[in-house]
Structure 1
Amino acid sequence: MMEMKDMELGDGESLSERVSAIFSIGGDQEAIEYDELWWSWNALSRVGDEIARLIDEAGMSPDSDVALLVRNRPAVAAAILSRLASSRGYISINGMLSDKSVLTELDRVRHEVVVGTAEDLRRPGLVSAAADHGALVLELPTHPHESVKVAAAPSKLQRDRSPADRMKSASSDIDMTTSGTTGSAKRIRIRQEHLLATVLEAQQTSGAGTPPVTRLRSGVSIAATPLSHIGGIFGLLMTVTQGRKLVLLDRFDAQKWSNRVERHRVIAGSLPPAAIRMVLDAGIPKSRLRTLKVISTGTAPLPRVLAERFEGTYGIPLLQAYGATEFAGGLSSFTYRDYKKWGDQKRDSVGRPHPGVEFRIVDPDTRAILGPDEIGILEVRTGHNAVSNDAGTFTSTNDLARLDSDGYLYIHGRADDVIIRGGFKIDLGQLEDTLRSHPEIHDAGAVAVSDERLGKVPIAGVVLEPGSSLSADEIRRHVKDDLAPYAVPTRIALLPELPRNSTLKVLRPALTEMILREGS
């Protein structure tokens, strides 16, 4: 059995101190696995040390702006952790984007160093564009015994700049984008202390707590959420600050995920609703998931029929959570203690607010505060808000929600999911649920488009179950039987799958284009 090491940590340590403490005690113990190859804590630490050394050897400030091309790779995780351990931030560029999009992102953000894997640096024109910009380009290793390499050195102009020109006020912020599922992704700067606060609050709520010592543990977590997403960073830090091991997956694959669950005897998992559906669709044997006690889920609504089907098949409770990039991660969660206490009574809840977080529900028009079980706009007050510098103010979200008399939060869709068609309100989330309730419909997404006469009208993309010959007209009749006639989509497209981003959220702009192009 692996020897556990302890290091004393008191209250109030920074994120950099917590990450540094784990690095200092980790040694050659296993830390992160990718593609069945383990990287030790020493190997991860060495990547960070080499990045810092190469920046220094290039004659650049240690506080230089670093743009990191982010993929789920151990060396990328090492680069992230090393920046945080040195109280420095980084600019996150999603490595899952197209070549054109990555170049566009690099062009729009200030950077003096570009760090990425070989597969990202092979993108046409990337290294030359960065070099022309005068940036140092570093290639991350693909094996724990390899070193960080210089792919392009800074221009002579940059090398000759005086130290005063190179120096700037160091930023420890993480500059990353929102998910961009309803439009263009926005860049948001997240402070390290805010990120640590959300991690500690989530640990306290879950019952894991923040122990008086930092130590290595034998438990293993599996991460398929991209490290370019707040959920991926949140999961990485939840795991690392508790001294547990992490398995990284490029993207969610039901077979790979379930094999890792079985091999490492994983107790607690985390999956978005789309991945939960994929596990069911893949027919994963119940025996393979026998060690799992709970699965937390978030990022998108969890349909009740999906939750009931999964829990009925595997006997594993699905515990919903709520959070947002703008608030540095998680805000509430339905815990296993909640599940044992309430069972099905509060099945659809995303839990109560984490310590230090407050919720209230307000009327969309008057902004008056609403009472228990009244649906309105969710507002959040927390000390870690990326969109407001005033921790004492409530910030309005775009989510429709209610709080019950016990303080449990329920999300009822997005405010912009409720459209007005000729004076009649239509809830696109309710329309999606109705579409999915048909036994021959596997998945569905609804969006709104402008209409000169009616203002807005709903359109829908539908994925049929294998072998189904259901027609668009039959789908319309199904909707009309369940909802009002004005809720029937004006256009329906039968699609092989719904367009999703790397966190498996439906991309509404792309879905709209597909429906308009292929629908009837």
Structure 2
Amino acid sequence: MKLTHNASSALATSLGNALAQCATSDTAFYFKDREYRWQDVRNTISILDQLLRKQPLGDSPRVAFIARSRPMHISCLWGLLISDRCASMIHCYQSTAKIINDIRKEGYRALIADQQDWNEDLLAAVQDMGCLGIAITEHSVKLRHCPEQDAATPADVKGSTAPQDDSATAIETLSSGTTGAPKRIQLSRRNLAASTAAAKQALTQMNASASQPAPIISVLPLSNISGVYASTPALAMGMPMAILEKFQLDDWLAIVQRFKPVAADIPPAAMAALHQRQLPKEVFSSIKVVRTGAAPLDREVQAYFQNELGIPVNLSYGASEFCGVITSWSMAELAEYSASKMGSCGRALPGVELRISDPDTGAVLAANAVGRLEAKVNRVGPDWIATSDQARIDEDGFMWFEGRLEETIFRGGFKLSPLLIAEQFRRHPALADAAVIGVDEPRLGQIPVAVLVLKAGHSQPDNDELNRFARDHLSAPEIPSAYYFVDELPRTASYKISLLELKNLISELHKTPK
């Protein structure tokens, strides 16, 4: 396949070459009991390129993309990367009004969205803005709206006039939105190429013992870096993907039984659900390692996988700002240290340096001290980047995530970690899940409040029982001032607990502690 758009960056060239080498009859995607061939991917990318050339994008070839974790959406992302256009992600899990506001604010000239997202309001807004509209169908893409062209503008634009260099933006991805509105973060072609190469290396290592590599199983949202990080190596290696649009435990188990993967990528919340199910060890017989991240992992859940199932857990750390993972474990490190350093996110990857600083003074702290995590990542740039996360690094270079700085609860003179408090409540035999947040209190500043999910078949414990349990497992300042039960905890698209929605929920229900 040859695109008429002038693709010249190293990322575009490598991905384009990889696509050209894929056998047309081989499977590219498994999705909802259907298989998509690499020829389907080629056709979709070619048609998308032709449609996008109907609209001049100016010096910055940004294309708004309401991304869903579906085969043709991933194909469109690959097509944008191969043609050196910039995919600017928009979360699909929000109202049409918010989507329209985002499109207007950013001034996009082209929008790609699934057919189901093209309602009357979105179409009217796109028409009003003179924006090119492209609809993704189950099998391909089609034109939804083409603005009238000025007489001086050619009807078929041959490509952007912008220089296609490796420092230009490949993707504007969205942060997870754990504590507030998602932020749009620019990832350069060079950064994405480097993270793709690192992922290829990790996949090669994971599949070294497999006679026939299984498809890459993805349950991660395409609109943020986790989904992108899962999809680009698949194209670069010509490997098929088995996709779940959203994690569903039974569907995931069916995919595992069908393909027998050596490695499994599972979000921490999904690992907790598997822990509660207490499935036979034979169900996981093919899996030699579980890779997880993006959110804290309960120690009891990790111990279940490592001690009862005999599957080492590769808990990693990364962020959109770093274009993916910056700490992880090698298989050799898991074999040597997984028991003695349980809960660690591993060591810094090649090209990454880490340090811990005092959040108030900026002074670099010694080994095992808890403070602000800072990272210097070669693929991003030469500067140290201060995160909003608390962490500690031991004398062997292993890092432990200790919570987000802005989530710390300041109760009187005590600094409390909501993550550690919630972890203890998950040990209660009647509780399936727990989250803790701080609410304002005039005398103490803040007080912790627990939001709990009951296990099926269990009676709801009263406050006295919960307080007795808390006194046995927590210090006095850590004991919540109130307990609230919900059917499920609100989560972001990447399965992190949404503290913003949690606080709004409590506010709307007038559940403010007295």
TM-score (norm 1): 0.88
CA distance in 1, matches of 2:203, 2:332: 8
Q: Is the 8 A contact 2:451 2:483 kept in 1?
A: yes
In the alignment, which residue of structure 1 is the partner of 2:413?
Answer: 423
CA distance in 2, matches of 1:60, 1:365: 45
Shift of the 498–504 alpha-carbon distance from structure 1 to 2, 3 Å rule, reads: same
In the alignment, which residue of structure 2 is the partner of 1:5?
Answer: none
In the alignment, which residue of structure 1 is the partner of 2:301?
Answer: 306
- The 5-angstrom pairing of residues 483-502 of structure 1 reads 483-502=474-493
CA distance in 2, matches of 1:210, 1:395: 33
| SS class of match (2:338) | helix
How far is the alpha carbon of 1:218 from its aligned partner? 4.7
Shift of the 401–54 alpha-carbon distance from structure 1 to 2, 3 Å rule, reads: same
Shift of the 489–37 alpha-carbon distance from structure 1 to 2, 3 Å rule, reads: same
Q: Please state if 1:454 is matched with 2:438.
A: no
Q: Please state if 1:341 is matched with 2:331.
A: no
In the alignment, which residue of structure 1 is the partner of 2:13?
Answer: 17
Percent of aligned positions with the same letter in both sequences? 28
- The 5-angstrom pairing of residues 460-471 of structure 1 reads 460-466=450-456, 467-471=458-462
CA distance in 2, matches of 1:30, 1:204: 22
- Matched residue type, 1:474: E
Quick check: 462-471 or 297-306, which moved more? 462-471
Q: Is the 8 A contact 1:58 1:159 kept in 2?
A: no
Q: Note the alpha carbon deviations across 1:88-147, whole angstroms, 9 max, x for none.
A: 2111112232333322322222211111221111x341111111110111112302xxx4
Q: Is the 8 A contact 1:178 1:188 kept in 2?
A: yes
CA distance in 2, matches of 1:474, 1:368: 43
How far is the alpha carbon of 1:168 from its aligned partner? 5.8
In the alignment, which residue of structure 1 is the partner of 2:4?
Answer: none
Q: Please state if 1:208 is matched with 2:223.
A: no
Q: Is the 8 A contact 1:65 1:110 kept in 2?
A: no
CA distance in 1, matches of 2:283, 2:424: 32
- Matched residue type, 1:103: I
Q: Equivalent of 2:173, from 173, 176, 193?
A: 176
Q: Please state if 1:322 is matched with 2:313.
A: no
CA distance in 2, matches of 1:221, 1:346: 28
- The 5-angstrom pairing of residues 72-111 of structure 1 reads 72-111=69-108
CA distance in 1, matches of 2:227, 2:132: 26
In the alignment, which residue of structure 1 is the partner of 2:3?
Answer: none
CA distance in 2, matches of 1:194, 1:233: 12
Q: Which runs of 5+ in 2 are unaligned?
A: 1-8
In the alignment, which residue of structure 1 is the partner of 2:5?
Answer: none
Q: Equivalent of 1:395, from 349, 367, 385?
A: 385
How far is the alpha carbon of 1:342 from its aligned partner? 1.8
Q: Note the alpha carbon deviations across 1:436-494, whole angstroms, 9 max, x for none.
A: 22222211101112222221221120112222220133213322333232222222211
Q: Is the 8 A contact 1:272 1:298 kept in 2?
A: yes
Q: Is the 8 A contact 1:460 1:489 kept in 2?
A: yes
Q: Is the 8 A contact 1:64 1:113 kept in 2?
A: no
Q: Please state if 1:404 is matched with 2:394.
A: yes
- The 5-angstrom pairing of residues 32-111 of structure 1 reads 32-57=29-54, 64-111=61-108
Q: Please state if 1:413 is matched with 2:403.
A: yes
How far is the alpha carbon of 1:295 from its aligned partner? 1.0
Shift of the 254–313 alpha-carbon distance from structure 1 to 2, 3 Å rule, reads: farther
CA distance in 1, matches of 2:81, 2:55: 21
- Matched residue type, 1:137: G
In the alignment, which residue of structure 1 is the partner of 2:145?
Answer: 152
Q: Please state if 1:379 is matched with 2:378.
A: no
Q: Is the 8 A contact 2:173 2:184 kept in 1?
A: yes
Q: Note the alpha carbon deviations across 1:249-286, whole angstroms, 9 max, x for none.
A: 11001111111111112111101110111223345443
Q: Is the 8 A contact 2:61 2:86 kept in 1?
A: no
In the alignment, which residue of structure 1 is the partner of 2:122?
Answer: 126
- Matched residue type, 2:130: G
- Matched residue type, 2:302: A
Q: Note the alpha carbon deviations across 1:178-233, whole angstroms, 9 max, x for none.
A: 1111111111111121122123234446763999xxxxx85311101011110110
| SS class of match (2:143) | strand
Q: Please state if 1:433 is matched with 2:423.
A: yes
How far is the alpha carbon of 1:435 from its aligned partner? 1.6
Q: Equivalent of 2:112, from 98, 110, 115?
A: 115
CA distance in 2, matches of 1:307, 1:366: 35
How far is the alpha carbon of 1:338 from its aligned partner? 1.0
CA distance in 2, matches of 1:50, 1:220: 26
Q: How many residues align?
A: 492
How far is the alpha carbon of 1:58 from its aligned partner? 5.5
How far is the alpha carbon of 1:305 from its aligned partner? 0.6
Quick check: 273-282 or 96-105, which moved more? 96-105
- The 5-angstrom pairing of residues 282-301 of structure 1 reads 282-301=277-296
| SS class of match (1:184) | coil
Q: Note the alpha carbon deviations across 1:277-318, whole angstroms, 9 max, x for none.
A: 122334544333321111101011111111112334433222
How far is the alpha carbon of 1:23 from its aligned partner? 0.9
In the alignment, which residue of structure 2 is the partner of 1:190?
Answer: 187
| SS class of match (2:237) | coil
